[in-house]
Structure 1
Amino acid sequence: MTGYMAEMRKLVGHKTIIQCAASIMCVDDKGRVLMGKRSDNHMWGYSGGSVEIDEYAEDCAKRELLEEMGLIAEELEFFYVNSGPETHYIYPNGDEVSNFEIIYICRKWSGEPKSVDGEMTDLRFFSYDEIDIDQISPPIRPVITKFIEKMKSVK
């Protein structure tokens, strides 16, 4: 952990912090979403992370995608705001957060998916009917549920 959140953790320890985050769900032309297995809780998730001071949410989401999955986002579309009690989470290291997360969908990117910073392993695309919600990282389950609903309604 670096940047703003690392500085806040020095001040508050493991106490709950409101975590403002931005994330990207890369969706391919078959409607599949790219996810990686998180190295901290060994559950599946998309790329995303904490917004730094004065950083635009879109820039944060793009930065996180590059850092975690090695892809450059070329176009973003707003998808969802994930907040509320369902997003309260305690990381395996004991850090506690209440998430406020802006999620974008990216259908146009460049590069090949690869784990860059070690936060994610086993990157792969999932169709909505392959996703096991119990294997999704808990604070993003509402987002994945919304994504599945959206994909079912398109069919």
Structure 2
Amino acid sequence: MAEGYIMALRQKIGHVPLVVACASVIIYDENKGILLQKRKDNGSWCYHGGSIEPGETAKQAAQRELFEEVGLHAQKMNLYTVASGADQHFKYPNGDEVHIVDTVFTCSDFSGAIQLESSEVSDCQWFYWDELPENINLPTKEPIINFVKEHLTNKSKRNKNVY
């Protein structure tokens, strides 16, 4: 969660549920799978992202969050989905409650070395396409599962066309 805008709102309104605009990125590599980070607050795995700051585009926010959380720079990103609804409800351990509207990008064009943001992220690992962890954070679970299924389906179709 961003330290700026949302935290300033929280000081005024407390734990009241908020609808929050977020942006995220699924980092992937054809051979390694997808890169997930482990949240420090609840120990679950998720993709990289957070709330959009005033004046920021969704793309800029996703790039900023990726760099802040794991030290990677996303170059070319593709819009994947906008996730909202019941599965996007999240309650933080401190009692803050959010209903997320998440603009999710995908990216296989990135650079940098993984460096964890120690206050938010406890681990970062590559998970092969068919070996995802069981404890995926609920707001990120459906986009991750759908992306992996689509990738595996497309890979299977590509392989059938190879002679």
Contact 1:67 1:117 in 2 (8 A): no
Aligned to 2:74: 73
In the superposition, the TM-score normalised over structure 2's length comes to 0.89
Q: Percent identity between the aligned chains?
A: 34
8 Å CA contact 1:83, 1:100 repeated in 2 = yes
Rounded Cα–Cα distance in structure 1 between residues aligned with 2:86 and 2:131: 26
| CA–CA distance in structure 2, aligned partners of residues 141 and 19 of structure 1 | 18
Match of 1:142 in 2: 142
> Structure 1: where are the runs of 5+ without partners?
none
Q: Deviations over 1:19-75 (max 9, x none)?
A: 100001111132611111100010001110000011111000000000001001111
- Distance in 1 between residues matched to 2:117 and 2:42, nearest whole Å: 18
- Of Structure 1 and Structure 2, the greater strand share is in 1
Larger radius of gyration: 2
CA deviations 1:88-116 (Å, max 9, x no partner) are 11111111000000011111111112203
1:9-48 correspondence to structure 2 within 5 Å: 9-30=10-31, 32-48=33-49
Q: Which runs of 4+ in 1 moved over 4 A?
A: none
- How does the TM-score come out when normalised to structure 1? 0.93
Unaligned runs of 5+ in 2: 157-163
Structure 2 Cα separation of the partners of residues 122 and 130 of structure 1: 17
Q: Which residue of 1 aligns with 2:153?
A: 153
Aligned length: 154
In 1, Cα distance between the equivalents of 2:122 and 2:33? 18
RMSD: 1.3
